[in-house]
Amino acid sequence: MSPLPSTLPAIVRTRIRASVRRRPRLTPREAEERALLLRLLSLCLQYPDAELTSGRLELVEAVRALPSSPAAARLAAFTDWFTAQDPEALESHYVETFDLRRRSSLYLTYYLHGDTRRRGMALLTLAQSYKAAGWDIGGGELPDHLPVVLEFAALAGPGAGEAPLRRHRRGLGLIHRALEAADSPYHHLVGALLTLLPPLSEADEKAVARLAAEGPPTEEVGLDPYGAYGHGEFAPPDAFVPPPAAPPTCHAEHTESVR
């Protein structure tokens, strides 16, 4: 989009940009196809347990049946890799990619709020949104886990359903960048999702770069599940520092004194 003349009033420029970004209303068939695509992305981003890996052929068939689109092409690129891997290798790659690297964690509110009290409120807001839509996610995952957010988007539709995804586009941009840097085929999935959302603005891109360099907000509110890294620094993608060993218990100290 070409820059708008600076002589236009700010409110007019804002409305023009909003009208350009606004997507046309989907037909019922398009909405159904979009929901299926989101559900497939959600499924592929889940941990590759025995149930998921045993259904890989059915997954490929479902992806191949999707209408042609940039998102479908990226999803197909992922499933081509996914079906060719050994199940144990898939499990190891998933854990290394999403559980041991902060920059590709699938918990979206972390990128916006870090380990702060605001994150707790954001999680509560998400959970309330799900409940208001009549959807109970159970107790298996936090409400900001990307597969959960994708499933909600498929259930509730492009408006309110996809609002959490739009709100966390910067975090998704960082995840995509980290997955590409790590040469993980999972970057196809996040890339597919980004094609469905409004593109990142120049300000968004700068924010993603700043987030990659500095990390999300920090605030000590409890134990850090990733361990301490430096002095509140954002651990690089390949770094996983285990938490320090616990101090000796009173029982252990008493045993030493007896000896």
Q: What is the pLDDT of residues 10-55, one digit of tens each?
A: 655 455 554 445 556 889 999 999 999 999 999 999 999 999 999 9
Query: How high is the pLDDT of residue 228?
Result: 35
Query: How high is the pLDDT of residue 12?
Result: 54
Average pLDDT, whole number, for the chain? 82
Residue among 44, 105, 101, 53 at smallest CA distance from 77? 44
Domain ranges of the chain: 26-218
Given a cut of 60, is residue 113 above it in pLDDT? yes
The distance from CA 135 to its chain's CA centroid, rounded to whole angstroms, is: 20
The distance from CA 158 to its chain's CA centroid, rounded to whole angstroms, is: 17
C-alpha span between 63 and 40 (Å, rounded): 8
C-alpha span between 146 and 26 (Å, rounded): 23
Query: How high is the pLDDT of residue 68?
Result: 96
Are 189 and 146 in contact by the 8 Å Cβ rule? The answer is no
| pTM listed for this prediction | 0.76
CA atoms within 13 A on the CB side of 187: 13
* pLDDT tens figures, 62-107: 999 999 999 999 999 999 999 999 999 999 999 999 999 888 999 9
Given a cut of 70, is residue 238 above it in pLDDT? no
Question: Quick one: CATH architecture of 26-218?
Answer: Orthogonal Bundle (1.10)
